[in-house]
Amino acid sequence: MNLKKTLSDYGTILVLILLGLGFSIVTIEEQWPTGNKAAKSLLQDVISTRPANGSNVLVLVRQGGDGKAFADALASESVAAGLNVLQIAVTQPVGARKALISIGQSGNSLPFIFADRHMANFCNEQLPRLSTQHPSLSTARVFTPSSHKWPNFLKKENLLNILKQISVVAIIAIGMTMIIITAGIDLSVGSLIAFSGVITALVIQSVGGGTPTTTHLFLGAFSGIIACGLIGMFTGGMVTAFGIPAFIVTLGVMFVARGMSFILADSDPVLVANPDFGWLGRGELLGLPNTVLLMALLFILAHLLMTRTSVGRYIYAVGGNPEAARLSGVPVKWVLVFVYTLCGVLAGLGGVMEASLHVTGDPKAGNMLELQVIAAVVVGGTSLAGGQGRIFGTLVGALIIGVIRNGMNLTGVEAHMQSVVYGVVILIAVLVDRLKAKIR
Amino acid sequence: MSGIHKRFPGVHALKDVDLELHTGECLALLGENGAGKSTLIKMLGGAHLPDEGTISFNGNPIQIHGPQDALAAGIAVIYQEFNLVPWLSARENIFLGQEPGRVCILPAKRERERAVELFKQLGADIDPATLCCDLTVAEQQIVEIAKALAADARILVMDEPSAALSPREVDGLFRVIDGLKERGIGIIYISHRLDEIFTVADRVTFLRDGAHVGTRPIVGLTRGDMIELMVGRSIDQEYPKEITEIGDVRIACKGLNRGKKVQDVSLEVRRGEIVGLTGLVGSGRTETARILFGADRPESGTIMMNGSELQIRNPRDAIATGICLLTEDRKSQGLVLGQTVLENFGLPNLKSFSRFSWIDLGRERSSIEDHGRQLQIKMTGPDQVAATLSGGNQQKVVLAKWLERNAEVLLFDEPTRGIDVGAKYEIYQLMNRLVAKGKAILMISSELPEVLGMSDRIVVMHEGRIKGEITDVPNATQQDIMKIAVG
């Protein structure tokens, strides 16, 4: 019994860990590090050979990617180690060949070549031949950062990428979790993303003209979020005042908001004429993407709201037994209006994030996203029957969906197959939900 | 049916019950609320299985595992809530579930003819094409009976068939029943209206507390005999009533009206007083309490607290003015079963445990722990899920949440229903403590010994109206109450 309880409480986390392990195992590859750290450790290897002060160095890095940065790092580390950097070549094999020949012709001694993986391979192939023509090259030793095996999935950039990709869905899923805990549903959030983005971009355009200032950007974002909040309030009002099922109300709102987005935007994406608008969607703080930090903050706040405040208690009570809640003095209708409004506000925020990422308010944004949001909530263990569910469960649900997508992309599963896998994951989640109810 | 036993968690609902129905007779089943009548007929209908005992039909033992088995055995049960699909026609309802296996090209035509024939036999003039939601209650009942006949039922069980009918429609029903009897169909008839029993029944079987207390032919039976057989319990020291000083009027209502269930109801409860509100199920007691609590809005009438008029729009208002309601059905209305004891307890009290909506969990927890000790709630701790508590302990959790509110007026609707004797006694003692502190208690109960044992004054309702009041409780008997309650 205890095992069952533990499984039902932490089962989703277990699934997440297993998925992560699985994708880690299948994406293990030889990794050739670049960047500052790699440059430092390479130079340490060189210093341990006790090179003469002022020895000549050629830095050879393949063009493209973060090649330039790596080359600069290697150069500055070399200088710091008291070596003399003859040349920094960020180039293709042809250029590398030229650089080597010119050094050979100049007659300078060249004890060290610092290269990345590609150039190291090139040098190891070409140097023996070149040194027969240019003897000064014969003493050259090629250093490249040591490689190691590491899963592509577990690389820091990849993990941050997953978090970035799920941030919009996960943030909206906070509101959706609360709605589903009250035994409701909101199908309109995908359309609200577009609506919020379009409103934001239009407001920025109309108040800021061609050169919007930061104030204008904030004003626009605020308008988009408020507009979606008001729509959420309207939905909540329809659900409580007229007792129309949330499914129907939000289905209607979904079409209205999508259509209005296209009408307002005149069917084309609305550009924001200030690149600063990308700060939210593309910016970073302390090495973490802003969207990820915002997501973390909102999840902590939502968790506190649901576990430590009367509002949270009321939400659970309304979902668990609305009549008992009403007879205990819970303002049931206000609670319902609150959750729909909050979900609207969060969808509006999601829309601003999406618009910020592309610096554009796109009426096509967030298409079918509502289903991903609902999937995250359901996979996270929130019961569609209401009354039960956890905010962090939803985060785990969103992570599971994000990890599956990422892992399938890394292993090259094609898009249609991915869709099949999502569907199966959702069905399993709902099945688990039913089984949990049975155990009880 | 013989030697039938049925146990539900915590309750022995039927104890060794025998029941015998002859061909072409009408047997009335009588008993107080909760005596086990419903459980018994649900076994015939296939909704429950007996734990022990046998059911036989024409001498052959049969097993009824579900509604289909019951129909196949020739037993049809017509529950108080009809089993008709409102958006299907009368004909479609009659033959619902019988379509498969009929090899017929034009079933609709044959069904229509059969339906017309059945209605003719029942002396009713109903167009088989009418949608069921357009039929009157009496007509719907005829459709139910026709449905049973179409399935070749030999036994017809009717649970309170007259409850929703007008006197004229009831006469019509009796004619139908007489006709069925002539055709050799046996009828089990359940009703609280004793007068009807005399008209329609041939024999009467009495149930009390889940046990069979006797079967008598209707000839030679008097109304008094019936009441005595139904309630006949002696009052002993089950009820620890203490005399308290009764003060001013705490809560009063005047001329409350809401539909048929509450008609011109006026009553008052004083400081330190326990008023017992009784009557048959459906007589409007619960509805009255719900209006006082703001759960339903009255069409007219006023509610006064300490002499000044109250505006109660919803339970929130009522709770704020110091009124609380212990609901009749604690599972569906009193508790959020999936939540913990702590969460349930906190629900109406969060305001006092929180600042700016931030809950002081420590204070809340120590408070429920205090109440738990005082009320002797048997739980593993405040984090136990309410659904897993026994009935008595669930009721104590509901009590705890209202005690914490320190409400001045307590409306107790069937406070001891489904609770074992020990917990009942504790709840009675708690009521004594509350009135000693000057609280006012309105106790709704169908258990007459409890009403007589605990009340300072008894108000009896019948069909939405207050029919009588008993002030001299110590000298009143259950028969006195029943006489008023049955109208």
Residue B458 lies in a domain: yes
Domain edge (last residue) among B183, B204, B231: B231
Rounded Cα distance between A174 and A347, Å, is 10
Q: Which two tokens stand for residue B316?
A: 């929130």
One-letter amino acid at A330 equals V
Q: Are residues A376 and A266 in the same domain?
A: yes
B319 to chain A, closest Cα gap in Å: 7
* CB pair distance less than 8 Å for A387 and B338: yes
We report the CATH number of the domain holding residue A237 as: 1.10.3470
Residues B334 and B223 reside in one and the same domain: no
Structural domain ending residue among the three candidates A119, A146, A173: A146
Query: A328 contacts in B (CB within 8 Å)?
Result: 315, 319, 347-348, 401
- Residue in B332, B339, B387 nearest the CB of A317: B339
Q: Closest residue of A to B319, CA-based? A: A329
Say if B308 falls within a structural domain: yes
Residues B262 and B215 in one domain: no
- Select from B314, B336, B359 the Cβ nearest to the Cβ of A321: B336
Domain assignment of residue A304, yes or no: yes
DSSP, res B134: G
CATH number at residue B52: 3.40.50.300
A104 in the same domain as A171: no
What is the DSSP-derived secondary structure letter of residue B128? Answer: T
- CA count, 13 A, side-chain hemisphere, B360: 12
Last residue of a domain, one of B197, B231, B265: B231
Q: Do A162 and A268 belong to one domain?
A: yes
Q: Is B128 left (phi over 0), alpha (psi -120 to 50) or beta?
A: alpha
Last residue of some domain: B168, B199, B231?
B231
Pair (A227, A259) in one structural domain: yes
Q: Which of B326, B339, B385 to mutate to test the interface with A (most CBs of A within 10 A)?
A: B339
Let me know whether A136 and A163 are in one domain. Answer: no
Question: Domain check: are B171 and B261 in the same one?
Answer: no
User: What is residue B12's predicted lDDT score, i.e. its pLDDT?
Assistant: 73
ipTM value = 0.77
The whole-number pLDDT of residue B33 equals: 61
Asked if residue A251 belongs to a domain, the reply is yes
Q: How far apart are CA A398 and CA A174, in angstroms?
A: 10
What residues make up the domain containing A246?
156-439
- What is the structure's pLDDT at A252? 95
Q: In terms of domains, do B179 and B310 share one?
A: no
Q: Closest to B357 (Cβ–Cβ): which among A310, A316, A329? A: A310
Whether A377 and A433 map to the same domain: the answer is yes
Task: Report the pLDDT value the prediction gives residue B235, as an integer from 0 to 100.
Answer: 39
Could you tell me if residue A64 is inside a domain?
yes
Contact check, Cβ <8 Å, B316/A331: yes
In this structure, is residue B420 part of a structural domain?
Answer: yes
Q: Is residue A29 part of a domain?
A: no
Residues in A whose CB is inside 8 Å of some CB of B read: 308-311, 313-314, 316-317, 320-321, 323-331, 387-388, 440
The CA distance from A108 to A85, in Å, is 12
In terms of domains, do B192 and B227 share one?
yes
Q: How far is CA A182 from CA A240, A335, B329, in A?
A: 12, 9, 22
Contact B238, B421 (CB under 8 A): yes
CB within 8 Å: A327 and B334: yes
CA atoms of B91 and A211, how far apart (whole Å): 74
Examine the domain organization and report whether A429 and A369 are in the same domain.
Answer: yes
Answer whether B315 sits within 8 Å of A317, measured CB to CB.
Answer: no
Phi and psi at B189, nearest 5°, equal -120, 125
Same domain flag for B295 and B186:
no
Q: How far does the CA of residue B38 sit from the closest CA of chain A (Å)? A: 25
B274 and B149 in a common domain: no
Determine, yes or no, domain membership for B181: yes
Residues B268 and B395 reside in one and the same domain: yes
Residues A341 and A374 in one domain: yes
Distance from CA of B468 to the nearest CA of A (A): 29
Q: Are residues A129 and A177 in the same domain?
A: no
Question: How far is the C-alpha of B460 from the C-alpha of B473, rounded, in Å?
Answer: 13
User: Does any domain span residue B238?
Assistant: no
A308 neighbourhood in chain B, CB within 8 Å: 358-359, 361
Of A146, A178, A213, the residue at which a domain comes to its end is A146
Q: Is residue A247 a part of any domain in this protein?
A: yes
B156: DSSP letter: E
Q: Which of A320, A324, A329 sits opposite B319 (nearest CB)?
A: A329
Other Cβ atoms within 10 Å of A438 Cβ, number: 7
Number of folded domains in chain A? 2
Are B354 and B469 part of one and the same domain?
yes
The answer on A230 and A134 residing in a single domain is no
- Assign 3-class secondary structure to chain A: CHHHHHHHHHHHHHHHHHHHHHHHHHCEEEECCCCHHHHHHHHHHHHCCCCCCCCEEEEEEECCCCHHHHHHHHHHHHHHCCCEEEEEEEECHHHHHHHHHHHHHHCCCCCEEEECHHHHHHHHHHHHHHHHHCHHHHHCEEECCCCEEEECCCCHHHHHHHHHHHHHHHHHHHHHHHHHHCCCCCCCHHHHHHHHHHHHHHHHHHHHCCCCCHHHHHHHHHHHHHHHHHHHHHHHHHHHHCCCCHHHHHHHHHHHHHHHHHHHHCCCCEECCCHHHHHHHHCEECCEEHHHHHHHHHHHHHHHHHHHEHHHHHHHHHHHCHHHHHHCCCCHHHHHHHHHHHHHHHHHHHHHHHHHHHCEECCCCCCCHHHHHHHHHHHCCCCCCCCCCCHHHHHHHHHHHHHHHHHHHHCCCCHHHHHHHHHHHHHHHHHHHHHHHHHC
What is the C-alpha separation between A29 and A152, in angstroms, rounded?
7
Say if CB B405 and CB B349 are below 8 A apart.
yes
Backbone phi and psi for residue B248, each to the nearest 5 degrees, phi listed first: -75, 170
- Stretch (H or E) spanning B403: helix B391-405
Cα–Cα dist A277/A437, whole Å: 46
Full domain range(s) for residue B32: 2-231
Under 8 Å between Cβ of B402 and B317: no
Test mutation, A327, A384, A439, chain B, max B CBs within 10 A: A327
Q: Is residue A8 part of a domain?
A: no
Residue from the list A310, A331, A388 with its beta carbon closest to the beta carbon of B354:
A310
Is there a single domain that holds both residue B188 and residue B303?
A: no
Residue B203, in any domain of the structure = yes
> CA nearest A324 in B: which residue?
B333
Q: What is the CATH number of the domain that holds A85?
A: 3.40.50.2300
A15 Cα to chain B: minimum distance (Å)? 25
Contacts of B398 in chain A (CB under 8 A): none
CB B65 within 8 A of CB B227: no
Other residues' Cβ atoms within 10 Å of the Cβ of residue B382 = 23
Assigned token pair, B13 = 């609902």
Min Cα separation A330/chain B (Å): 7
Report pLDDT for B9.
60
Residue with tokens 């039960």: A388
Instruction: Look at residue A249 in the predicted model and tell me its pLDDT.
Output: 95
User: Is B226 found in the same domain as B145?
Assistant: yes
Is residue A400 in some structural domain? Answer: yes
Q: Is residue A99 part of a domain?
A: yes
Determine the Cα–Cα distance for residues A253 and A54; give it in Å rounded to an integer: 72
Q: Which residues of A touch B315 (CB under 8 A)?
A: 326-329
Nearest to B336 among A310, A320, A440 (CB): A320
Token pair listed for B336: 């959020």
User: How many residue contacts between A and B have a Cβ separation below 8 Å?
Assistant: 77
pLDDT value for A93: 81
| Residue B451 within any structural domain of the chain | yes
Residue A226 and residue A111 in one domain:
no
Q: What is the pLDDT of residue B234?
A: 42
CA distance B411 to B328: 10
Q: Which two tokens stand for residue B423?
A: 């917990």
Q: In what order do the strands lie in the sheet with B155-159?
A: B60-62, B52-57, B2-8, B11-17, B211-217, B203-208, B26-30, B186-190, B155-159, B75-78
* Count of C-beta atoms within a 10 Å radius of residue B49: 12
- Among A184, A168, A213, A220, smallest CA distance to A373 is for A168
Instruction: Let me know if residue B240 belongs to a domain.
Output: no
pLDDT of B431-447, one tens digit each?
Answer: 999 999 999 999 998 87
B411 and B334, same domain (yes or no): yes
Quote the number of domains for chain B.
2
Nearest chain A residue to B347 by CA: give it. A328
Last residue of a domain, one of A117, A146, A175: A146
User: Do A81 and A221 belong to one domain?
Assistant: no
Mark the ranges of chain B whose per-residue pLDDT is less than 50: 234-236
Chain B neighbors of A387, CB-CB under 8 A: 336, 338-339
Residues of chain A with pLDDT below 70 are 1-9, 433, 436-440
